[in-house]
């Protein structure tokens, strides 16, 4: 189908942008995501895999976090997170099933809580760790564009994204590559910055394999290095506190 002769280049550009936004967000979610935020996310999603993100049904990674071995399972379809960390004292398991947060400590202590601050923190981690902002019709959240900012490495499109029931984060997308370069948590007494690097293509998507966390104190800086990543779906029971422990 040919475009009308009087359709100028600006109109074509607007039409293409509108089509992209329709693919990224549902009408209901478009009300929560500002048009400017959706444009940034459309570019970021395309740069890191585009429609490939829709093929993911699981997320399983392993590596080192702050020098400790860890293994993590996440659910890109609905909230689910389980992180097993091999600490000096033994295995520490942290889980979130979308409703409650729970932990099993190396000494055998078990906690299962549903208080708002704890659940909000877990929901926030599960949301951003699985890049849930690429699933605007799947995970309820809101996003606004904060404009273009300059920083180390160039210029960035900055968004403020907050999952419903979670905490807001600033996401800095490199204007040249459109990949996420930085995330900032300003909810605490001092800003915490997460720097993303070493992007690699795994299956249909490109993801960072190195995340550095800093809060201004060199003693608190740490890195998470992903050594293996696959998208095998996990049994949903992994995200809930095991029954034998819950009965205690």
In a domain, 115, yes or no: yes
* Domain that residue 56 falls in: 32-246
pLDDT for the residue 8: 44
For residue 77, the domain's CATH number is 2.50.20.10
What's the total number of domains in the chain?
Answer: 1
Return the higher-pLDDT residue of 2 and 61: 61
pLDDT for the residue 243: 74
In a domain, 15, yes or no: no
In a domain, 22, yes or no: no
pLDDT for the residue 5: 38
Rounded to two decimals, what is the model's pTM? 0.85
In a domain, 199, yes or no: yes
Three-class DSSP category at 184: strand
In a domain, 2, yes or no: no
Indicate whether 21 pLDDT > 60: no
pLDDT for the residue 29: 52
Lowest mean pLDDT: which of 9-13, 23-27, 103-107? 9-13
In a domain, 12, yes or no: no
In a domain, 9, yes or no: no
pLDDT band at 81 (very low <50, low <70, confident <90, very high): very high
In a domain, 217, yes or no: yes
175-211: b (≥16 Cβ within 10 Å) or e:
beebbbbbbbbeeeeeebbbbbeebeebeebebbbeb
Indicate whether 24 pLDDT > 70: no
């Amino acid at each position: 189908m040919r475009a009308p002769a009087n359709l100028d280049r600006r109109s074509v550009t607007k039409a293409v942008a509108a089509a992209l936004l329709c693919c990224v967000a549902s009408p209901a979610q478009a009300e929560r995501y500002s048009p400017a935020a959706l444009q940034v996310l459309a570019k970021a999603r395309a740069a890191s895999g585009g429609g490939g993100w829709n093929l993911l049904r699981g997320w399983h990674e392993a590596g080192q976090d702050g020098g400790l071995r860890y293994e993590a399972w996440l659910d890109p379809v609905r909230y689910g997170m389980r992180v097993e960390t091999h600490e000096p004292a033994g295995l520490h398991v942290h889980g979130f099933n979308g409703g409650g947060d729970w932990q099993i400590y190396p000494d055998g202590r078990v906690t299962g809580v549903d208080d708002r601050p704890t659940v909000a923190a877990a929901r926030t981690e599960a949301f951003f760790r699985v890049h849930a902002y690429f699933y605007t019709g799947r995970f309820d959240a809101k996003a606004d564009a904060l404009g273009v900012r300059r920083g180390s490495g160039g210029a960035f499109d900055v968004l403020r994204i907050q999952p419903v029931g979670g905490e807001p984060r600033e996401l800095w997308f490199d204007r040249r590559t459109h990949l996420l370069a930085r995330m900032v948590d300003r909810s605490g007494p001092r800003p915490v910055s997460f720097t993303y690097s070493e992007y690699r293509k795994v299956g249909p998507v490109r993801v960072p394999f190195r995340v550095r966390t800093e809060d201004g104190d060199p003693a608190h800086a740490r890195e998470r290095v992903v050594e293996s990543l696959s998208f095998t779906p996990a049994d949903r029971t992994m995200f809930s506190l095991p029954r034998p422990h819950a009965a205690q």
